[in-house]
Structure 1
Amino acid sequence: MREEMPYGTEEGEGEEVGFPNNTHKRLVVVGYALTSKKTKSFLQPKLEGLARNKGILFVAIDHNRSLSDQGPFDIVLHKLSGKEWRQILEDYRQTHPEVTVLDPPDAIQHLHNRQSMLQAVADMNLSDSYGKVGVPRQLVVKRDASSIPDAVANSGLTLPIVAKPLVNDGSAKSHELSLAFDRYSLQKLEPPLVLQEFVNHGGVLFKVYIVGEAIKVVRRFSLPDVSKRELSKTAGVYRFPRVSCAAASADDADLDPGIAELPPRPLLERLAKELRRRLGLRLFNLDMIREHGTRDRFYVIDINYFPGYGKMPEYEHIFTDFLLSLVQAKYKKRSG
């Protein structure tokens, strides 16, 4: 049904979409290029219904036709991989500067490599009265698993160590992780990898969702703490499809607020604002942990572009407001 909606004929056309002084009434057309899985999780009926009420229409982009022949779009929303698609989108951005592309393909590419992904956080070295945000010490191993034990010893990383695929392309495989408890088991890992020092964090992960200037935080169960006693008794490599599978519960529901106090809001706002600027992205989330035994020492352990917003509370309202704000800003710019 979504694909067949002709522009300008949808019920609700002519409704005001929040423009100033009632001077501009039209549909906001959002072209989307998402995988079928992403379309299903993101474009839920509640989101589409609310969007329609606000004058926003989602239209599927046809991959068999030229992008320039489709639309006209106000916004292009996308999460597809591949060089060919990136080039199509880059060409489209050059020829259609009036269309907002969420987000620029080159900026997204930066997050596909876990070596460069966290560099923006490390460079920021964010520290203020509300806390300190850093990244775990890490090491990149591109090949030759037999060299990993020596490389880890020379780098000064301490066990246990979390190993993640170097490439983060959104696939299930890119979310797999391993926890290595002893030096010699490191040889069983399969490069290319990023090795991160494991930081005890009370078994709680904060998912910080960012949609433009909006920030929403959800608590999730994570890997349990590892004591020195456990470390001395445990050997081997433990593999997990993703962090939640290693946790006490893989439930996607937000945890009870009593389990862990959220990171301070001012700290998150400063972090999000700075990352939006440094990464050039408006749709992403951070996996963040608080070091166990501290109140104000935080680490960002992963950044994902256009994450599973369908799991974010009130995402329908936050996302539609964000889309409208983009078009409003553009309108004010033109009229100004």
Structure 2
Amino acid sequence: MCFVINLSQPLEPQGPFDIIVHKLSDVIVEAEHDDRSQQLLVNFKKYTSAHPSTVILDPLPAMTQLLDRFVSYRIMNWHICSPPYLEVPSESDLSSIHRAVKEHNLSFPLLCKTRVAHGSLSHEMSLIFGESCLADVRPPCILQSFVNHGAVLHKVFVVGDKHFCVERPSLKNFPAGPCDRKTIFFNSQQVSKPESSSDLNALDEKMPCLPSPRSEALAALVKELRAQLGMALFGVDVIVNINTHTMTVIDLNIFPGYEGVPQFFSSLLDHIRALLDSGAGAADPQGPSSCEPPSASSI
């Protein structure tokens, strides 16, 4: 039997639950400055702590790490090919940003992304082309060396031990190295929508099609990330470097929209059945993460 949980009401009378599938990412982010959201999380944690046999998909601590790009980029930096990056904390001033960019050998252009990796503001990004425009950086944020990838983004959607790869538009190629071009501010969601038509994702020149990431490489990547994250529902943004043809991870996404994945609901139900049949938690079967519950509602 499947139904929606009302988090504003006591959970005990609504249960018991075999499994809770949640997407309380908004509540987790809002809880930093909103008393009501804080209380919802407290109530949810209290219930799940009192019912450890309830399977949580996905565990709250595992989810929380993907809401902070500082944390998720450190995960990406372990054994996964990803572009050089720099964490710019809140207290950074312009001179310290200049110095850090040089010390970390970041190459222009640079992608600037918000620290918070969820919500509408997380899609607001900028492309910075030279040192003179580092004044446009708004900490806290991530600065990441831009990798030319032929305006093609491969969005990998993970559902338990299955994954699906969907091709989307992405930023076009830009000349490597610093230049006097003004900073470009953009919304990544608008650039990478399935039917997006933008000056930012239109290639200026004809170029050969890049190879898609190999299925075996994607499978190995997903297996590695599931083990590291302790999660079953997440997304991975992958590009292919136009110079080296190397598969490169540029972002991790918490419980994505699964747009373009027609098998999502059947795959999710298969994963839930497998979890209930095995009595395992929501994390990777090779290494379930210890846990508290994640947030939000259903089943």
Task: Kindly state the Cα deviation for residue 247 of structure 1 after the two structures are TM-superposed.
Answer: 8.3
What SS does the corresponding residue of 1:79 show, helix, strand or coil? coil
User: What amino acid sits opposite 1:264 in the alignment?
Assistant: R
Q: Percent identity, aligned pairs only?
A: 32
Query: Who is 1:112 aligned against?
Result: 67
Q: Decide whether aligned partners of structure 1 residues 221 and 317 sit closer, same or farther in structure 2, where only a CA change above 3 A counts.
A: same
Check conservation: 1:222, 1:248, Cα contact below 8 A.
Answer: no
Alignment counterpart, residue 19 of structure 2, candidates 63, 69, 75? 75
Cα separation, 1, equivalents of 2:59 and 2:226? 12
Query: Who is 2:86 aligned against?
Result: 139
1:1-336 equivalence runs, <5 A: 29=1, 57=2, 59-80=3-24, 81-82=27-28, 83=31, 84=38, 85-123=40-78, 125=79, 133-142=80-89, 143-147=91-95, 148-168=97-117, 170-228=118-176, 234-242=180-188, 244-245=190-191, 249-250=195-196, 259-295=209-245, 297-330=246-279
Check conservation: 1:240, 1:246, Cα contact below 8 A.
Answer: no
Cα separation, 2, equivalents of 1:104 and 1:119? 19
Check conservation: 1:157, 1:197, Cα contact below 8 A.
Answer: yes
Name the structure, 1 or 2, with higher relative contact order (CA <8 Å, separation 6+): 2
What SS does the corresponding residue of 1:93 show, helix, strand or coil? helix
Cα separation, 2, equivalents of 1:315 and 1:111? 21
Q: Decide whether aligned partners of structure 1 residues 232 and 187 sit closer, same or farther in structure 2, where only a CA change above 3 A counts.
A: closer
Cα separation, 2, equivalents of 1:317 and 1:159? 43
Q: Decide whether aligned partners of structure 1 residues 328 and 260 sit closer, same or farther in structure 2, where only a CA change above 3 A counts.
A: farther
Q: Which consecutive residues of structure 2, in runs of 5 or more, have no partner in the other structure?
A: 32-37, 198-207, 281-299
**What's the C-alpha RMSD, in Å, of the aligned pairs?**
2.3
Check conservation: 2:109, 2:178, Cα contact below 8 A.
Answer: no
Query: Who is 2:290 aligned against?
Result: none
User: What amino acid sits opposite 2:268 in the alignment?
Assistant: F
* Corresponding residue pairs, total: 257
Cα separation, 1, equivalents of 2:57 and 2:243? 39
Q: Deviations over 1:22-41 (max 9, x none)?
A: xxxxxxx4xxxxxxxxxxxx
Q: Decide whether aligned partners of structure 1 residues 267 and 65 sit closer, same or farther in structure 2, where only a CA change above 3 A counts.
A: same
Cα separation, 2, equivalents of 1:134 and 1:240? 25
Flag the structure with higher helix content: 1
Cα separation, 1, equivalents of 2:66 and 2:235? 11
What SS does the corresponding residue of 2:52 show, helix, strand or coil? coil
Check conservation: 1:159, 1:181, Cα contact below 8 A.
Answer: yes
Q: Decide whether aligned partners of structure 1 residues 319 and 248 sit closer, same or farther in structure 2, where only a CA change above 3 A counts.
A: closer
Cα separation, 2, equivalents of 1:310 and 1:324? 23
What SS does the corresponding residue of 1:276 show, helix, strand or coil? helix
User: What amino acid sits opposite 1:262 in the alignment?
Assistant: S
Q: Decide whether aligned partners of structure 1 residues 98 and 248 sit closer, same or farther in structure 2, where only a CA change above 3 A counts.
A: closer
Flag the structure with higher strand content: 1
Cα separation, 2, equivalents of 1:105 and 1:223? 32
Normalising by structure 2, we get a TM-score of 0.79
Normalising by structure 1, we get a TM-score of 0.70
